[in-house]
Chains A and B, each alone.
Chain A
Amino acid sequence: MTKGPTLIASNTVGSGTPTNITFSSIPQTYTDLLVKVSLRGTQTPNHYLGWHMDINSSTSNFTNLYLQGGGSGTPGSGSSAQYMGAIPGGGGTANTFSNSEIYIPNYTSSNYKSFSVDSTGEGNETLAFANFIAGLWSNTAAITSLTIYPDYNSGVGIAQYSTFTLYGISNS
Chain B
Amino acid sequence: MAAGITYQPIQTQTLTLTASSVTFNSIPQGYTDLVVISNIKPSSSASGYGPSFQINGDTGSNYSYTLIYGNGSSAGSIRASSINYARYGSGGSTSTLEADVTHIMNYSNTTTYKTIFARFSQPSADTGAFVNLWRNTAAITLLTFYGNDGGSIAAGSTFSLYGIASA
Contacting residues of chain B (67-114) with chain A, CB-CB under 8 angstroms:
68-75, 90, 96-101
Q: What's the dominant secondary structure at chain B's contact region? A: strand
Contact B122 A67 (CB under 8 A): no
Q: How far is the CB of A165 from chain B (nearest CB, A)?
A: 14
Contact with B along A126-157 (1 / 0, CB 8 A): 00000011111000000000000000000000
Residue A38, interface by CB 8 Å: no
A-B contact count (CB 8 A): 122
How far, in whole Å, are A9 and B158 apart by their CA atoms in the complex? 26
A-B contact pairs, 17 of them (CB 8 A): A63-B123, A65-B125, A75-B68, A76-B74, A77-B74, A78-B70, A105-B39, A106-B39, A111-B156, A114-B123, A132-B119, A133-B121, A134-B127, A136-B123, A136-B124, A171-B9, A171-B37
Q: How far is the CB of B109 from chain A (nearest CB, A)?
A: 24
How far, in whole Å, are A126 and B147 apart by their CA atoms in the complex? 41
Contact A112 B99 (CB under 8 A): no
How many B residues are at the interface, by size bracket? 35 or more
Contact A77 B75 (CB under 8 A): yes
Most B CB contacts (10 A, CB to CB) among A5, A116, A134 go to A134
With CB as the reference atom, state the residue of chain A lying closest to B163.
A3
Residue among B12, B70, B101, B158 making CB contact with A65, cutoff 8 Å: B70
Q: A134-B98, A134-B121 are in contact. List 17 more A-B contacts (CB 8 A).
A: A64-B123, A65-B72, A65-B125, A66-B70, A67-B127, A75-B68, A75-B75, A77-B71, A78-B73, A106-B158, A111-B97, A114-B96, A116-B99, A118-B119, A133-B127, A134-B120, A169-B162
Contact B99 A67 (CB under 8 A): no
Given A132-B129, A134-B126, CB of A114 within 8 Å of CB of B121: yes
Residue B7, interface by CB 8 Å: yes
Contact with B along A152-172 (1 / 0, CB 8 A): 000000000000000001111
